[in-house]
Amino acid sequence: MPAFMELKDRKVIVLGLAKSGVAAAQLLLSEGAVVVVNDAKHASDLRADIEALGKSPSLTVVTGSHPPDIVDEKTALIVKNPGISMDLPLLLRARELGVTVITEVELAFWQLAAPIVAITGTNGKTTTTALAGEMFAISGRRTFVAGNIGLPLSSVVKKASAADVVVAELSSFQLEGTIYFRPAISAVLNITPDHMDRHRSLEKYKQVKARIFANQTTAEAVVINADDPEAFDLHDHTAARVYLFSRKREVGQGAFVRAGHIVLRSRESEVSVCAVTEIAIPGAHNLENALAASLLAWLGGVKPVDIAQVLKTFKGVPHRLEYVETIAGIKFINDSKGTNTDAAIKALESYHHPKVLIAGGYDKGSSFDSLAMEIKKHVSHVVLIGQVRERLAAALRMVGFNEYQIANGLEDAVGRAYRAAAPGWVVLLSPACASWDMFNNFEERGELFKKAVLKLREENNGRKH
C-alpha cells in the first residue's frame, strides 16, 4: 500500500454496493479503516448486501441518495463502484477537497501478494480471461479468476499468496480509477467504440484502456493484438516488454498461426501448441482470444501441452455464443454478453445459417450504421427490443433492410423470432447494447432468454405450429 495511504483509523467512503462494494468495505474494515458505505438505492433493496457487511462500530451505511456532505476534511479515500460517473456531485466535492478517488481494483492491488495477469479490451475479455484462468489452473498453480468476471479483486486479497496467480478481466470503468495498478502481465485485446456516453470519444476510451500497462516496466510484459489498429497503436506507448498476437501474420515475438497451427515465439524459443481446427470454441474472434490466452499463459510459465489441453476442451463461457436449445430444427443461441455493435457483428459472422437476430437494449450512444450493414448481409429477420429499438429500426431502414419487427419485452421477442424462423435457422440473441434499460446486467438478460426458450419448447413440445 502506498505510504501516504495508511488507512487504519482513517475515514474511507465506499460508493456503491453490489459485489465489489461489499468486498471493498470488508477489506477496509479488516485493515482498521472507518468505513462509510453509500448507495443511492434504498436499504430495502440492499438487504442482502448490507447483511453481508456484518455489524461493526467502524461501519456506517447511508442509503437512498448520494449526499455530498458525507465527504469532509476527514475523508482519506473514496472507493467508488466502476459504474458511477466521476460527474456525481459527491465526487466533484471530493475533487475540491483533494480526496483521492479510486476503484476497488486499485484498492485490492495495494495489498495483493499474488501476481496479476490483467486483461482488457472492448470484446473478448471474458472468454480470454476464462481461457487463461483454466490454463494456469491446469498447470497446478492455485488460480483466482477475478475482476469483471468471477470474484471482486478485494475478496481475493486475504486468500492469495505470492505463489498463486490472479487472472483478472478489467473494464474501462474499473481502469478509470487506477493510480499505481501494475500487473505482472497485461493484455489489450482490441479497441472499438463503446461506452461513448461515458468516455465521450474513442481517444479518451483508448487512453483509459491504456491504463492497464501505464505503470509497467521492462520487468513486466504486455500482450497486444497486432490485427486491431487502435490496440496496435498502443504498442509503442509502454515501457513493458511487448508481445503481439495475430491470426493474419507471423509476429517477431508473440503468438500467431502458421500452417494451421498456433505458434508461440519469444526471442529465445518457439513452440507449436495445437492445430486451429482443434480449438473447441468457434469463430475467428475466438481464435484471437485463444492466441491471446495462450500467450498470456505461456509468458506466465504454463507448458504448451497444458495450454493445448485447455484449447481442445474449453467450451466457452455463459452468455457468449452459448447454445441453449433446438426447437423444431431452429437453434437458439444466447449471446447476451454481446453488449456492443462489434461483438454483435462477430456473433453474426460465427454462424452461416439463415438467422433471426434479437437486438436492442440500453442506449450507450454508439452508432448502429456498421451493424445495420452487417445485418443486411447476414440476417434474414430482426426482432428489436429495449430503449434503442426505434433508433436501431431507423438504422436498418437507412440501409434498405425492412425485415424487422418490434417486441414488447424479451419473452415476446423469443416468440416472434421463433415464428419468423424456419427449420435449419438460428435465432441469435446478440443485443449490441447494454442491458440496463430492462435488466440489472447482461447475465439476467441471458438467463431470461434461456427461460423463455425453454418455456417455448414446453409449449410447442418440439413441434412448430
DSSP string, 422-461: -TT-EEEE--SSBSTTTSSSHHHHHHHHHHHHHHHHHHHT
What is the overall mean pLDDT for the chain?
94
Percent of the chain with pLDDT over 70: 97
Break the chain into its structural domains and give their ranges. 10-98, 106-313, 322-458
Question: 465: pLDDT confidence band, cut at 50, 70 and 90?
Answer: very low
Q: Which CATH architecture has domain 106-313?
A: 3-Layer(aba) Sandwich (3.40)
User: What average pLDDT does range 173-179 have in this prediction?
Assistant: 94
User: What average pLDDT does range 196-206 have in this prediction?
Assistant: 72
Give the C-alpha distances (Å, rounded to integers) separating 225 from 55, 146, 222, 283. Answer: 47, 22, 10, 16
User: What average pLDDT does range 192-217 have in this prediction?
Assistant: 81
pTM summary value: 0.85
Question: 3: pLDDT confidence band, cut at 50, 70 and 90?
Answer: very low
Name the H helices within 100-150.
104-111, 125-138
Own/partner pairs, 388-395, CB within 8 angstroms, 24+ separation: 388/360, 388/361, 388/362, 388/363, 388/433, 389/360, 391/363, 392/359, 392/360, 392/368, 392/432, 395/368, 395/369, 395/371
How much of the chain is in helix, strand and coil states, percent to nearest 5?
Answer: 40, 20, 40
Q: Which pLDDT score, from 0 to 100, does residue 237 have?
A: 94
34-39, strands of its sheet edge to edge: 59-63, 34-39, 11-15, 75-80, 100-103
CATH superfamily of 322-458: Mur ligase, C-terminal domain (3.90.190.20)
Q: Which pLDDT score, from 0 to 100, does residue 197 have?
A: 56
Of 188, 185, 240, nearest to 218 by C-alpha is 240
Amino acid code (one letter) for 70: I
**Contact present, 115 and 184 (Cβ < 8 Å):** yes
Q: Which pLDDT score, from 0 to 100, does residue 462 have?
A: 45
**Contact present, 13 and 79 (Cβ < 8 Å):** yes
Q: Residue 1 above 70 pLDDT?
A: no
Q: Which pLDDT score, from 0 to 100, does residue 200 have?
A: 60
Amino acid code (one letter) for 6: E
The predicted-structure confidence for 403-437, as pLDDT tens digits, reads as follows 999 999 999 999 999 999 999 999 999 999 999 99
* CA–CA separation, 35 and 8 (whole Å): 10
Q: Please, what is the Cα angle at 242 between 238 and 244, to 5 degrees?
A: 130
Q: Which pLDDT score, from 0 to 100, does residue 133 have?
A: 98
CATH label, 10-98, candidates 3.40.50.300, 3.10.180.10, 3.40.1080.10, 3.40.50.720 = 3.40.50.720
The predicted-structure confidence for 290-326, as pLDDT tens digits, reads as follows 999 999 999 999 999 999 999 999 988 889 899 999 9
